[in-house]
Structure formats: C-alpha cells, structure tokens
Structure 1
Amino acid sequence: MNAVSIFLLVYLGGVLTILSPCVLPVLPFVFARSDGPFRRSGLPVLFGMAATFATLASLAAMGGGWLVEVNQYGRYAAMSLLFALGLALIFPAWSERLMRPFVALGGSLQRHAERQGSLRGSMLLGVAVGFLWAPCAGPILGLVLAGAALNGANLYSTALLLTFAAGAATSLTLALLAGGRLIAWMKLSLGFGEWMRRALGVAVVAGIVVIGLGWDTRFLARSSVPGTAAAEQQLIERLAQRPAADPATWRMAPALDGATQWLNSPPLDGQRLRGKVVLVDFWTYSCINCLRTLPYLKAWDERYRAQGLVIVGVHAPEFAFEKDAANVTQALRELGIRYPVAIDNQYAIWNAFHNEYWPAHYLIDAQGRIRHEHFGEGAYGETEQMIQSLLKEARQDLAPNHGLVQVQGSGATAAADSAERSPETYLGYARQENFSSREAMRNDVAAHYSVPHRLRPDQWALSGTWRVGREAAVLGASGGVIEYHFRGRDLHLVLGSHDGKPVRFRVLIDGVAPGKDHGADVDTAGYGVIREQRLYQLIRQSGGAQARVFRIEFLDEGAEAYAFTFG
C-alpha cells in the first residue's frame, strides 16, 4: 500500500467517525455557532478541533521515539494499546470509560466557551468538541496514534494525525452546513455505523491475538513455497530502479544527522559535502546482498573520489551484535572499506530517508537533491553512468570518463548465481520459517530437538540442545547439528560465539565432506572455526547451483546461528 492510499484511508476514517451514535450529543454544540457567519463562527470551531488533534499528534510522535528505544517492550506496549482500543470499538461502555477524562475536560471547556466572545468562544468550542468527540473518534484515532508512535518523531507521523483531523473537520463542516437534515439522516444510519465499528474492533483484537501467539509466522512457515523468494526478488527488481528524471520530482536529501559514531572520517554535514556528489549506501556487514555490492562501491570510490564523489556507508544493523562498533571496525578492515561509514544504531538516518532495504543506494547531486535511487543488488552500469553525469554537472571542467569499472568479487562478495535459490531463512523465532524438527520450537528456553528422517526443499531442522531466541539459536552442548535442504550455488550462515570463545565445526553436503564444493570459511574436509560474529561462506558448489542437503555439526558448545542466505 502506497503513502497516498494510507493518507486517503486515514482521511476517510476521520470523515466516518461522524457515523457513530455517540456523535449525536456533540452536534448541538456545533450548531450553537451555526447561526453566525461561517468565517467567525463555524471556521474557528474547525480550527479549534484540528488543534486538539494536532496536539495529540505531537505527543504521539515524541512518545514514539521512546517506544522505539525500548525495543521489544515497546512492541508489547503497542500491542496492548491496540488490544484495548479494539475492545473499545466492540464495547461502547468500555469506550466511554476509556475516554471519560477527555469528555469531562471537553465539557468544562464547552461551558467556558459559552461565556466568551464570538471568535474566541468559537475557537475554544472547537477545542472542546475535539475532546467531546473522543468516545466516538478515540478508538479509531487511537489506532492511528499507535502506528504514528511506532514510526517515531517525524513529519510523516504528524501528517497522519492532521489528515485524520481534516477528515473529522470535513464531517463537522457538513454538519454546520446541513444542520438538522444531517441529524435525521444519521439516525437512519446508526445501525450500519455501529455494525462497522464493532466489525473493525473484532478484526483488530483478532489480529493482535494472532500476532501475540506467533500464529502469523507459523502460518507463513507452512504456506511458503519455493517460488516465493524468486517472486519477491522480481518485485524488488521491478521497483528498484527509480531515477528521478523529472526535475519536479527531485527532493532534498535529509541531513546525515543522528549517527552514533563515524568511522574512516569525521562526522559529515552539509557544509563538508557542499558541491560534492554523494552516494549513500545503506548496508550491514552480515548482509550477503550488501557484501556483493562492495566491489563496485570500492571501485567507484577509487576512480571518482578525486573528481568529487563521496561514498557514505550508513551501517544500519540487522542483528544486535552489529551494533558493536568494534565489530563494524573489524569488518571494515577485513573488507577493505576506506570510505566514510556512519554507524546508524538508532536508525536515525535510515528513518530520515524513509529507507526500507539492505542494500539501498541514494545518489545526491551537488545541490543536495536526491537524483537516483536503487534497492538491492544489480543495475551497476546505470548507477555508475548516473555518477558520471552528476559529476559532470558539478564540474564542467572534468575530462570525460571512458567506460565503466570492471570488477569481480571473491568469496562472499562474488556475484550471485542466476539460478533459483532458497530464500533467506532466519533461525530466531521472531522471523523463522520452514522449521521442521520433530519437536515444536520452544521460545527462550533450552530444549532438545531432532532432525526428521527427510527434509523437503527449503526446510531446516535442529538436533541437540538449543535455546532459540528472537534473533538466533544458541547451542547448549557440543554435538549440536543444523540441517538444511537448500537450492543454490552458495550457502552462507551468520554465526557467532555466545561466550566469545572459538567454536569448531564441520560441514557435510549430502553426507560427505564438501571437497571442491567447500566455501571460503571451511577447508576441503569441511572443518572451520567461529572466531567472530559475521557471515560465513560454508558452501560454494563448483558445478553451479544444485539442490543438496547441508549439515553442520558443532564440536564445541556456545555456537550462535542467526540466518541462512544463498547465492
């Protein structure tokens, strides 16, 4: 659903609140000002009510930053809030109790408004109506508020609430213009409006129960099919390339503020980047798709830095261990990255760009405008041609560039095989799919698991004693095993050590040592060692992509397994 659709639905939600039965007692307060000129009586009422909703929007946006900070507890708080609001939609009595303080405040303001002059009194009456509207608009408005809070303090969240206010103000405008005829029509529609209200409440409560019990992820695990990953990739590739050819569509790039730390550079701001062409790359060091773009980024940095290109890697972590600056610093050293990198642990820059992908590339011209976007791997030729074009715009004296860079990655940075491959698979319970051990997964407790006799394609299983957390499965005793029936040329697994000690492991493919099909992090016999938290390449099939059964046995306890990726 695009942004226009979301704003349209929020606006209609504000308009339709007038269909609720509890609006009827509010309308007489509005009609009390309908006998005067609309500009001095009706319009101030609408502005006053909009001000009430705008205040709620600001509070929600500020509170959202705190809610995001508390991470999983914030998710539980948001789910609890949505559950309560869903009950309020189903049971009017619950809604009245929930909103009673706001109604009392609105009544007090209304009585005070009657003692004021025309303009000032109308404005105050609008504020009062905003609170008196609460038993009707409160649950629906609360759903918007909860979503806005989770998005954090930004203009998008505030705009959602103001859009809702505009919808409610539209209803009040109709009430002012139609008067008693509107009330007569509303009485005929009370049954339908109440039915819709309760149906929405049931849907909200049911959704929270499904999410809270984890049924959504279990359903996705059972219903996933081999073609899902390919379909998703095709959709991303179709929407990924978005060059802004029309100058009317160019937008100013957000400031690179909010990074918790900068590596390879002092903090970069607008003054330091003035007149430069900037490529912002959102990445994280255990992301295989991000690693495959690095050969091009490093080559562009080497060729075009002297001509005015600045590449800024914004490291937005996916896993908790990627928030450790020491881990990121070591990854930069091992990967040979010399351009500036901003550690975006709080997702401040990510949110400012409204980014949703790893990797994502944003090209910014010398005037600070976003001129080109690309999400995911690929389209390197188009991106480099745009770099050349923007550099030429910024410096007319530049000599023409001849051709494009020719690069070839190695190990995990090598380009993916074009054949169909298994989807990215997370082992933590928050996002796990296709888990197929004989025993059901138990969250956050040590449990014994065993591998079934046969795994179907894209299924995986644990064997041994494991504690499955939100992000990773942690091995409690040596001898633990993970098996995966995968499709693809390469198999990677994000691994770590729970206590920081080296963890030995051995890899088998179809029951035998990988031999010439071994990955960069194992030998021909399949042996390797976990020494740091990162992505490990365990299989690279010399004969190309095939369906095989992968097995990794850990010879020491304490292994952490996060996610499989394939190439």
Structure 2
Amino acid sequence: PRVRPEIEVTGLGRWFNSEPFTIGEQVSRGNVVLIDFWTYSCINCVRTLPYLRDWHDKYAEHGLVILGVHRPEFEFEHSATNVAAAIERLEVTWPVAQDNDSRTWRAFNNRYWPAKYLFDTTGKIVHTRFGEGAYLKFEEEIRAALTRAGSDVSDIPLGQGDQARDPEDRRRQTRELYGGYWRIRGSYAAQDEYYLGTDREVEYVDIETPSERVHDKWYVHGLWRNEREAIVHARETTNLEDYFALLFRARSVNVVLDPPPGQSYEVYITIDGRPLSADEAGSDVVFDADGNSLIRVTEPRHYAIVELPEFGEHDLRLASNSDHFGVFALTFGSYLEGP
C-alpha cells in the first residue's frame, strides 16, 4: 500500500549516485529513510560523513536509504560540477540531491546544517538530530526502525560514539566567523570601517599589538573589499604585506575559499608570528623550500589549515599576494583528533 510520509522532499534538482525518488516511494517499499541536510563546505557536515558512511555500508542492504539533501550556503555550492567533485573527494556513496531553491529545506522547516530526520516505514519521523554528535543514539534508532520493519540487524555491531573533546574547551572555542556582509549581522569584523557601506574598498590598518585582539572577531590589513559572501583582498601585492588575522581558541582551524574557475593562488599561514610546524599543520598545508607554511587554493571548498597537538589560544594570519584571495568563513574545532 502507498504510504504518505509526514513530510516529503520536493523541488529537488540534480541527483547523484541514484535516480530520483521520494520518501513516500521508499517507505512504501518497506524501507527506512534518513534525510540528511548538508552542504559540502560545512566542516560540521563533513565531520558527520564517516558516521553516515558507516550506517550506509552496514544497513543499506537491510532497508536503510540515506538521502543527502544538499542545500547550499554559498553561491559556489549551487554548482552541480562543484557538488559532484565534493561527493567524489569526500567519498559520499549514498544518494545526494541538490536543493538549490530550498524547497525541501522549507518543507521540513529546517534551520540547520547538518540536520538528520529518520522516517520509519509508516512514514513518521521517529528521530531527529540537529548538529553533530549523539551518533550512537541515532544508530540505535535506525536499528530499532529496521527491526520494526522486519530486518534482523542483531549481528551487526554498533559503530563509534562521539568524537572526544573537553567540554571546557568546547565552551571556550572560537565561534564560526564569516567574511561577507550577508552574514555580518553577527559583527564578525573587528574594524569599524567595514560597516560604513557594502562592496567598498578600504585601506585597513591592523592594531599594533596582536595580543590585544578581540576574540571571536577578525582583522584585516591593507586594501580589502567587503563583498556579500566574503572579505576580498582588493589588490595584487608582492611581499604578502596585506593579510587577514585573528586571535583563535581551538585545536583545529578550517577556512572556506573560492578561486576563480581554472585559476589558483597561494595563501601563506603563520601562527604567533612564525610558520606552522609539521605537527601543527592541517591536512591541506604544504611547505616551501624555505619552510613557509601555505595552502594552494585550487577549488572552492573548505581547507584544513591548522591542527594543533592540543587546544590553545594563538594569533593566526593568512596572507596572499593574489587579488582573488577572499575569506568566506572560518570554522574551528576542539575535538582531540581530526578537523
């Protein structure tokens, strides 16, 4: 019999790893459906992927269908080509569909990345999770829904629990920071000139003493332009004299960047006035012959730039001679391992 789900996907665009389907079609076939709202530049979403991969690998043949609803945050995430590249790079093997017009996002009245909704075979939402964490609880709900549907999953071992981190570190961790004025209502820019208008080129002057930086805000030095989605370096330089800086409290740092199609540029990274060491560098960092730490920005995505041995407070600078260098967002982590 046809089952009408509590909420249905609608208006989805390009599909990946699957032909299009609806929640109603899947639950009518006796399957359990997990809807995962994500976007590929979101580090919080990326951290959940190993758990989704584990659930897909273990339970797909027992009736679990995962659908990643990709609702973009930034303009470059609307591109099917960029999404396809991210799906391959991040090893997403379950179905994904683009929700560029936010029609499914609105149908669910969703507000979060990542967000997970679990439908049992009656079409009811039996469990939700907004944000990271509580993975064992969600997996237990998946197993319970599959068991009610008639599948025996008792011999399948439970997966890993949440990543370990100190609760105090999590409380002290730097918030997510945005560069564009579209999100600047959170007052992420420390310098008042930023707020005097939009799409303006301004010659900024950094404060003289980095230790006096205000936490949870960023600073720039040199000529920069505030755009809707990013703060953009507004001239070509030769000696990395212009830079983006902040005081951060975390163990890991990621930055979202978007080079022009077919072009690339380099961003040099320093911590407390020196290059990163090998045991402080994120997975996207390389070193030049002089030992300078940098990333080569070749595609629109988040780049892992800092991964410290332990949580701490540090001054971070990002500098590029390119006038394509624009900071969309920075995200931070306090997990004991990983980004």
Normalising by structure 1, we get a TM-score of: 0.52
1:277-296 pair list within 5 angstroms:
277-296=32-51
Whole-angstrom distance in 1 between the partners of 2:39 and 2:300: 13
Whole-angstrom distance in 1 between the partners of 2:263 and 2:224: 18
Asked if structure 1 preserves the Cα contact closer than 8 Å seen for 2:178 and 2:188, the reply is no
Measured on the aligned residues, the alpha-carbon RMSD in Å equals 2.0
| Residue 260 (1) aligns with residue 13 (2) | yes
1:541-556 pair list within 5 angstroms:
541-542=308-309, 544-556=310-322
Query: Match for 1:456 among 201, 204, 214?
Result: 214
Letter in 1 for 2:230: A
Asked if structure 2 preserves the Cα contact closer than 8 Å seen for 1:438 and 1:451, the reply is no
1:407 deviates by 7.8
1:152-301 pair list within 5 angstroms:
252-269=5-22, 270-274=24-28, 275-301=30-56
Q: Deviations over 1:502-535 (max 9, x none)?
A: 0111100000011021111112531111111111
1:399-548 pair list within 5 angstroms:
399-406=153-160, 418=167, 419=169, 420-432=172-184, 433-437=187-191, 439-441=193-195, 442-454=197-209, 455-478=213-236, 479=240, 480-498=242-260, 500-515=262-277, 516-523=279-286, 525-542=292-309, 544-548=310-314
Asked if structure 1 preserves the Cα contact closer than 8 Å seen for 2:67 and 2:95, the reply is yes
Whole-angstrom distance in 1 between the partners of 2:303 and 2:79: 18
Letter in 2 for 1:310: V
The residue aligned with 1:339 is 94
Partner of 2:182, secondary structure, is coil
Q: 1:326 to 1:475 in 2, by over 3 A?
A: same
Q: Deviations over 1:38-93 (max 9, x none)?
A: xxxxxxxxxxxxxxxxxxxxxxxxxxxxxxxxxxxxxxxxxxxxxxxxxxxxxxxx
Asked if structure 1 preserves the Cα contact closer than 8 Å seen for 2:26 and 2:32, the reply is no
Partner of 1:291, secondary structure, is helix
Whole-angstrom distance in 1 between the partners of 2:84 and 2:67: 15
The structure carrying a bigger strand percent of its residues is 2
Letter in 1 for 2:316: F
Q: 1:314 to 1:415 in 2, by over 3 A?
A: farther
Letter in 2 for 1:521: D
Q: Deviations over 1:316-374 (max 9, x none)?
A: 11111111111110000000001000100011111111111111110000121111111
Kindly tell me the number of residue pairs found equivalent between the two proteins.
Answer: 310
Query: Where do 5+ consecutive residues of structure 2 fail to align?
Result: 334-339
Q: 1:475 to 1:427 in 2, by over 3 A?
A: same
1:430 deviates by 2.3
Whole-angstrom distance in 2 between the partners of 1:317 and 1:417: 31
Partner of 1:541, secondary structure, is strand
Query: Where do 5+ consecutive residues of structure 1 fail to align?
Result: 1-250, 409-413
1:547-566 pair list within 5 angstroms:
547-566=313-332
Q: 1:417 to 1:317 in 2, by over 3 A?
A: farther
Question: Identity of aligned pairs, percent?
Answer: 37
Moved more, 530-539 or 252-261: 252-261
The structure carrying a bigger helix percent of its residues is 1
1:447 deviates by 2.1
Whole-angstrom distance in 2 between the partners of 1:434 and 1:351: 27
Asked if structure 2 preserves the Cα contact closer than 8 Å seen for 1:503 and 1:557, the reply is no
Letter in 1 for 2:205: S
1:440 deviates by 4.1
Asked if structure 2 preserves the Cα contact closer than 8 Å seen for 1:438 and 1:452, the reply is no
Q: 1:415 to 1:339 in 2, by over 3 A?
A: farther
1:536 deviates by 0.8
Asked if structure 2 preserves the Cα contact closer than 8 Å seen for 1:417 and 1:488, the reply is no
Asked if structure 2 preserves the Cα contact closer than 8 Å seen for 1:506 and 1:555, the reply is no
Whole-angstrom distance in 2 between the partners of 1:313 and 1:505: 32
1:261 deviates by 1.3
Q: Deviations over 1:227-285 (max 9, x none)?
A: xxxxxxxxxxxxxxxxxxxxxxxx94322221011111111122244210011000101
Q: Deviations over 1:411-458 (max 9, x none)?
A: xxx876651200011111122224223744441122222211131222
Asked if structure 2 preserves the Cα contact closer than 8 Å seen for 1:264 and 1:340, the reply is yes
- Give 4+ residue runs of structure 1 displaced > 6 Å after superposition: 414-417
Partner of 2:106, secondary structure, is helix
Whole-angstrom distance in 2 between the partners of 1:378 and 1:417: 14
The residue aligned with 1:355 is 110
Asked if structure 2 preserves the Cα contact closer than 8 Å seen for 1:299 and 1:407, the reply is no
The residue aligned with 1:314 is 69
Asked if structure 2 preserves the Cα contact closer than 8 Å seen for 1:296 and 1:407, the reply is no
Whole-angstrom distance in 1 between the partners of 2:208 and 2:266: 26
Whole-angstrom distance in 2 between the partners of 1:566 and 1:477: 28
Whole-angstrom distance in 2 between the partners of 1:355 and 1:302: 27
| Residue 388 (1) aligns with residue 127 (2) | no
The residue aligned with 1:117 is none
Whole-angstrom distance in 1 between the partners of 2:10 and 2:41: 24
Q: Deviations over 1:544-567 (max 9, x none)?
A: 110100001113221121011100
Asked if structure 2 preserves the Cα contact closer than 8 Å seen for 1:436 and 1:452, the reply is no
Letter in 1 for 2:245: E
Asked if structure 1 preserves the Cα contact closer than 8 Å seen for 2:136 and 2:160, the reply is no
Q: 1:370 to 1:555 in 2, by over 3 A?
A: same
The residue aligned with 1:144 is none
Whole-angstrom distance in 2 between the partners of 1:518 and 1:350: 36
Normalising by structure 2, we get a TM-score of: 0.86
Q: Deviations over 1:167-221 (max 9, x none)?
A: xxxxxxxxxxxxxxxxxxxxxxxxxxxxxxxxxxxxxxxxxxxxxxxxxxxxxxx
Asked if structure 2 preserves the Cα contact closer than 8 Å seen for 1:285 and 1:534, the reply is yes
Letter in 2 for 1:527: L
Partner of 2:89, secondary structure, is helix
